[in-house]
Amino acid sequence: MPKAFKPSVITANALLEGDVVYMGADEWVRDLSDAEVITDEAVADLRMIETSAQSDLVVGVYLAEVDMTQGAPAPTHFREAFRAKGPSNYAHGKQESL
Amino acid sequence: MYSYTDFDAKFLAERNAQFRQQVERRIDGSLTEDEFKPLRLMNGLYLQLHAYMLRVAIPYGTLNGGQMRALAEIADKWDKGYGHFTTRQNIQYNWPELRDVPDMLDALAEVNLHAIQTSGNTIRNVTADHFAGAAADEVADPRPIAELIRQWSTDHPEFQFLPRKFKVAVSGSQHDRAVIKAHDIGLRIVERDGVQGFEVIVGGGLGRTPMIGKVLYDFVAAEDLLPTLEAIVSVYNLLGRRDNKYKARIKITVHENGIEDIRARVDARYKLIRPQFTGVDQQMLARIEADFALPAFKTQSLAAYESAYTNDPVFRSWADTNLADHRAPGYAIVSISLKAHGATPGDATSEQMREMAALAEEFGHNELRISHEQNVILPHVHRADLPALHARLKSAGLATANIGLISDIIACPGMDYCALATARSIPIAQEIATRFDALKLEHDVGPLKIKISGCINACGHHHVGHIGILGLDRAGVENYQITLGGDGTEDATIGERAGPGFSADDIVPAIERLVYAYLDLRQDAGETFLQTYRRLGLAPFKAALYPEAKADAA
């Protein structure tokens, strides 16, 4: 039986800064809360084709599952949690602006 | 130390100009990422979890003050004011932006440093004993031959696309401080009938399939070393598995074919290529050796040192752990710990780098070394200067007296930075160091090496840690496996897995139980953790790690 599609966002690294980015409504955004949450697999496939073509802006496009139980997208895996926040040892990365 | 020739400088300038154009072409869209990725990796530029990472080679771990200062300036100008020293005697910058990297490489070239072959399936930065040229037990300084190997392997046309990456380490002492038996090729300078040559070890390595290297030749004459290396790498290039990256390292080639078969193939290849080495390499080596002449050591009274040692317990504690015996009378080798309790192992701020540069210039004949254990070494310091040096280190937050102790932990960057990692390493190292500092047990426990890797690739050398910790992803949760009894010295041993892994919350209490068990089990304070483990085996330590299993069995 095929695995049910779970809510997901499209993520990548920005070409120039290497920073973690997410596809928002119509552009790449830095904050996970601004990401477009995709709930339909066919839409996800289409968005992946569109965003993967943007290699002048980003590197390594992929889908990452999110948890929507709190109303906003939250990472379901610890790797994505670190990508969304930054490293543990310094307040560097995205957490610098929090 | 080795000074670059005009040829070296021109080569670096041309290479950097070429890469600058490649970066520009990537940014303007002329190159795709698939086209650009191998080019950036050839220049040490990775894309990691949060940013790009530039890995800079510090050949055989040797630097002078000017080079260390340049590393600090790069950290300030293009990164976040710090650098991370690695187990491969490299420095990594964790936050560069793509557009800035060509400028960083140019700044490095100004002080004869580069990032070439710090990535890719090629011969990587050649590493060496971090006490090279200074150790009391040294047969000969391994750095001239390491430099010759660096020159031979850099942009070697035959060895740019090997089956996998290839690592060479060189030691000039009987006591192995370079982990030579866990390298693709390990070289040890030995003496036979008054003549110096090399013991050649092949097929060591950690990672997914850890193996201790095997002796290919017990003595190779100095003039035959380079053709021997060329023959080995050439045989590996042909025979190494390219169908499966997990079986591609030379350790698997040696394991699958057997050392006798590999030796026969290397012998045959050697006979073929030996005539091509006409002796030019030996002329080059002679020039290189002249660059590594010992500094002019001074003679001075030891009264200041002896007085500080007698009257200042803080200085004495530091001297007892952080100094090693030097070949010259009155001198010591100083290890500067980059493992302050709670700090990130291997990290130094740009201010600390500048201070270490200044200390090397003022007290250490302008020489520094980076150790594979992620510390910085001042190899030549007269003991009379040690009290003043120690005071300066204290002011810079660099006087932690813990070399070789439980908080002197090797930890790879782990999932906080590395795109390959499966769990974090740094917070575990920080927590262990902080816990044992609070317990005030560290000096009672004595020599104990903890090494932590955040994935199976084993950049943190966990297999050869007395206590090794491997971070894994178990069903979306960080999980940490313990190995015991590993050893990275001349008695190299792969640690034994203790049992099921521990959660991030449980791993530090588990290490604490292990250390308390050792304190109970040791014969006396002179028996180290490793000696106790070797005497008693896994069972009593396993019982300490898994007390619930013991209770269930009762």
Least CA distance to B99: which residue of chain A?
A16
Distances (CA, A) of B101 to A16, B25, B118, B207: 11, 14, 15, 30
- Its ipTM equals 0.96
A87: closest CA among B503, B419, B91, B85?
Answer: B419
Alpha carbon B137 to chain centroid distance?
A: 20
Distance to chain A for B49, nearest Cα, Å: 6
Query: pLDDT by residue for chain B (554 residues), tens digit each?
Result: 898 999 999 999 999 999 999 999 999 999 999 999 999 999 999 999 999 999 999 999 999 999 999 999 999 999 999 999 999 999 999 999 999 999 999 999 999 999 999 999 999 999 999 999 999 999 999 999 999 999 999 999 999 999 999 999 999 999 999 999 999 999 999 999 999 999 999 999 999 999 999 999 999 999 999 999 999 999 999 999 999 999 999 999 999 999 999 999 999 999 999 999 999 999 999 999 999 999 999 999 999 999 999 999 999 999 999 999 999 999 999 999 999 999 999 999 999 999 999 999 999 999 999 999 999 999 999 999 999 999 999 999 999 999 999 999 999 999 999 999 999 999 999 999 999 999 999 999 999 999 999 999 999 999 999 999 999 999 999 999 999 999 999 999 999 999 999 999 999 999 999 999 999 999 999 999 999 999 999 999 999 999 987 666 65
Q: How confident is the model at residue A97 (pLDDT cuts 50, 70, 90)?
A: confident
Name every chain A residue with its beta carbon within 8 A of the beta carbon of B29.
56
Distance to chain A for B246, nearest Cα, Å: 23
Distance to chain A for B211, nearest Cα, Å: 30
Q: Answer whether B495's CB lies under 8 Å from B522's CB.
A: no
Q: Which of A76, A89, A92 to mutate to test the interface with B (most CBs of B within 10 A)?
A: A89
Which tokens in the block code for residue B143? 């750095």
Q: A7-61, pLDDT tens digit by residue?
A: 999 999 999 999 999 999 999 999 999 999 999 999 999 999 999 999 999 999 9
The partner residue sitting opposite B50, judged by closest CB among A15, A20, A55, is A20
Give the side-chain half-sphere CA count within 13 A for B482. 30
A87 contacts chain B (CB < 8 A)? yes
Q: Which of B27, B33, B49 to mutate to test the interface with A (most CBs of A within 10 A)?
A: B49
A52 contacts chain B (CB < 8 A)? no
B100 contacts chain A (CB < 8 A)? no
Give chain B's radius of gyration (CA, Å). 23
Specify the 3-state DSSP secondary structure of B351.
helix
Q: Tell me the Ramachandran region of residue A66: left when phi exceeds 0, alpha when psi lies from -120 to 50, beta otherwise.
A: beta
- The span from the CA of B72 to the CA of B81, in Å, is 7
